Chains A and B, each alone.
Chain A
Amino acid sequence: AQTVTQSQPEMSVQEAETVTLSCTYDTSESNYYLFWYKQPPSRQMILVIRQEAYKQQNATENRFSVNFQKAAKSFSLKISDSQLGDTAMYFCAFIFSGAGSYQLTFGKGTKLSVIP
């Protein structure tokens, strides 16, 4: 079974500062994708960033970037220049094609608060 672990239930960061959210996963697969989803207080799940396991280059989307360490099975999210609108739950998720599954496995989430 695939597992995704987010070891930080809650974090806080000052506005305009940088914060890193941790995610580790366990799999024997070699071909998979990783995602970070954001869930603001409105509860809608929004895709923040995605990373293909076969790509060595870390994905970047504006102020959001990842540090993908395949050997260590680590997939952390860095948020630069934090804004009040970044306050949300953040979920790390994993998908692979083993046994025709293609199902998303989610971590339990990290609650991020951006402090003015």
Chain B
Amino acid sequence: DGGITQSPKYLFRKEGQNVTLSCEQNLNHDAMYWYRQDPGQGLRLIYYSQIVNDFQKGDIAEGYSVSREKKESFPLTVTSAQKNPTAFYLCASKVTPYSNQPQHFGDGTRLSIL
């Protein structure tokens, strides 16, 4: 079945450590997105990519980095510069970036600080 796979489901980070969240899709979608979800805050856009080897900052990109070396993969690195990384992270994709079609979401990764 086509879909978006996020791993791991739970992740723990030590102080000063970088961690990488995986997002893989087999939907052949061009556009991919990373959101952060905090209680009472809804979803906020971290980074997005409209095509391979291209990505753009969203509303809260500070302390995060991404890469898009393959169409199906869009990993998110939470760096030590992100001082409050505890949150639920959702990856999404869309057929093309230039459309009003809905986004498809993965099951998310919960990141916590040790």
**Which A residues are closer than 8 A to B by beta carbons?**
9, 32-33, 35, 42-47, 50, 52, 91, 95-97, 100, 102-104, 106-109
Are A43 and B100 neighbours in the complex by a CB distance under 8 Å? no
Q: Is the CB of A95 within 8 A of B107?
A: no
Closest 3 CB pairs of A and B: A45-B105, A33-B100, A108-B42
Contact in complex: B105, A44 (CB < 8 Å):
yes
Given contacts A42-B107, A44-B107, A103-B48, contact A35 B102 (CB under 8 A): yes
Contact B42 A109 (CB under 8 A): yes
- Whether the Cβ atoms of A103 and B107 lie closer than 8 Å is no
CB neighbours (8 Å) of A43 from chain B are 88, 107-108
B45 at the interface (CB under 8 A from A): yes
Please give me the residue from chain A that is nearest to B92 by CB atom: A45
The answer to whether A106 and B42 touch (CB under 8 A), given A43-B88, A43-B108, A44-B107, is: yes
Separation in Å of the A50 CB from the closest CB of chain B? 6
User: Which of these, A42, A91, A95, A100, contacts B100 with CB under 8 Å?
Assistant: A95
Residues of A contacting B92 with CB < 8 Å? 45
Task: Enumerate B38-86 residues with CB–CB distance to A below 8 Å.
Answer: 40-45, 48, 58
**Roughly how many angstroms separate A103 CA and B97 CA in the complex, as a whole number?**
9
Chain A residue contacts of B45, Cβ below 8 A: 103-104
Docked CA distance A106–B58 (Å): 13
Return chain A residues, CB-CB under 8 Å to B111. none
Give Cα A58–Cα B92 distance, bound, in whole angstroms: 27
In the complex, A65→B103 CA distance in Å? 20
- CB-defined interface of B14-45 with A at 8 Å, one 1/0 digit per residue? 00000000000000000001000000111111
Contact A97 B100 (CB under 8 A): yes
Closest to B45 in A: A103
Also in contact, A106 and B100, with CB within 8 A (given A45-B90, A45-B105): no
